[in-house]
Structures are given as structure tokens and as C-alpha cells.
């Protein structure tokens, strides 16, 4: 999978423009995802010196990115579409916030296996088959 990961609030706590404290298990999980063969893309609003600080922080912690703020390493941001092509975006601003990194890892593994039931990992719905609701429909009371 191609996985785009935000930096501030996702890998480290919010302290922008400084680098915050590491979010528990983010670094270890990203290393495992890389080792599992996924392409990781750092996708952040940071640019220039602040971006380089984030890249350096990740490299010092053993996180290897396929690309940074781009679809592939050689892509020129000035002439490329702003839309990133990824299978999954991990960001603290997602609907519902940032899940625990253990949940994220198990959800990625389930997706790779073709099991697309995120509720299994978040415990939002105990048994989707009994409720008859699939996907996000099981999260909400209508």
C-alpha cells in the first residue's frame, strides 16, 4: 500500500513550529509498516527548514520515506497536481481523530488481507453482521 502520513499531531505531538514529543508507538509502527513493504510518504504542511527538521527527525528515528510531500521522489511540486495518490492517509485531523497506532497497524494488515472492517479494530460495533451495518454506518445511531 501507499500510505501518506502527517507529521505534527500524528508522528509527534503538536508543538509546531518546534518538534513535539513522539506519539507513543508511532515510530515503531511506521518502521514495521516500512518493513512490511508499504511505501510511506511524509505528507505535511511543513516546508523549507521546518520540513527538513521533520525529515531529519524521522531519519534519526529510523523512519524511511519513499517520498516527501510528493507522489514519488522526483516529482516537482510546482508542476504536479496537489492531490496525493495514496491508499491510506494517517492524520490526526481524520474523522474521529487519530486512532491508537496499534489499531492503525492492525487496520492496515486487515486491509492487505482484504478484510475491510475497521469496526473490528475500534470496537465501535461489536458484530457488524448482527447490526446489518457495514463501513461507517455501524458507527452512527440513525
Give the long-range contacts of residues 62-67, CB within 8 A, separation 24 or more: 62/27, 62/31, 63/11, 63/27, 63/30, 63/31, 63/34, 64/34, 64/40, 65/40, 65/41, 66/2, 66/39, 66/40, 66/41, 67/39, 67/41, 67/42
Q: Which fold has domain 1-92?
A: Rossmann fold (3.40.50)
Query: What is d(CA 72, CA 42) in angstroms, rounded to the nearest whole number?
Result: 11
- Cβ-contact 108, 30 below 8 angstroms: no
Q: Beta strands 39-42 and 88-90: pairing type?
A: unpaired
Chain segment 26-54, per-residue pLDDT in tens: 999 999 999 999 999 999 999 999 999 99
Q: How confident is the model at residue 141 (pLDDT cuts 50, 70, 90)?
A: very low
What are the tens digits of pLDDT across the range 63-120? 999 999 998 888 877 777 778 889 999 999 987 889 999 999 998 998 888 876 555 5
Indicate where the chain has its CATH 3.40.50.1000 domain(s). 1-92
Amino acid at each position: 500500500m501507499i500510505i501518506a502520513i502527517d507529521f505534527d499531531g500524528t508522528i509527534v505531538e503538536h508543538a509546531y513550529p518546534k518538534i513535539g514529543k513522539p506519539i507513543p508507538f508511532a515510530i515503531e509502527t511506521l518502521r514495521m509498516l516500512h518493513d512490511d513493504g508499504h511505501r510511506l510518504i511524509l505528507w505535511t504542511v511543513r516546508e523549507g527548514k521546518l520540513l527538513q527538521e521533520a525529515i531529519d527527525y524521522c531519519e534519526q528515528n529510523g523512519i524511511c520515506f519513499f517520498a516527501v510531500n510528493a507522489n514519488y521522489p522526483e516529482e516537482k511540486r510546482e508542476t504536479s497536481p496537489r492531490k496525493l495518490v495514496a491508499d491510506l492517509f494517517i492524520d490526526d485531523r481524520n474523522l474521529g481523530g487519530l486512532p491508537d497506532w496499534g489499531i492503525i497497524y492492525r487496520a492496515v494488515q486487515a486491509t492487505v488481507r482484504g478484510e475491510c472492517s475497521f469496526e473490528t479494530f475500534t470496537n465501535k460495533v461489536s458484530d457488524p453482521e448482527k447490526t446489518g451495518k457495514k463501513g461507517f454506518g455501524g458507527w452512527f445511531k440513525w
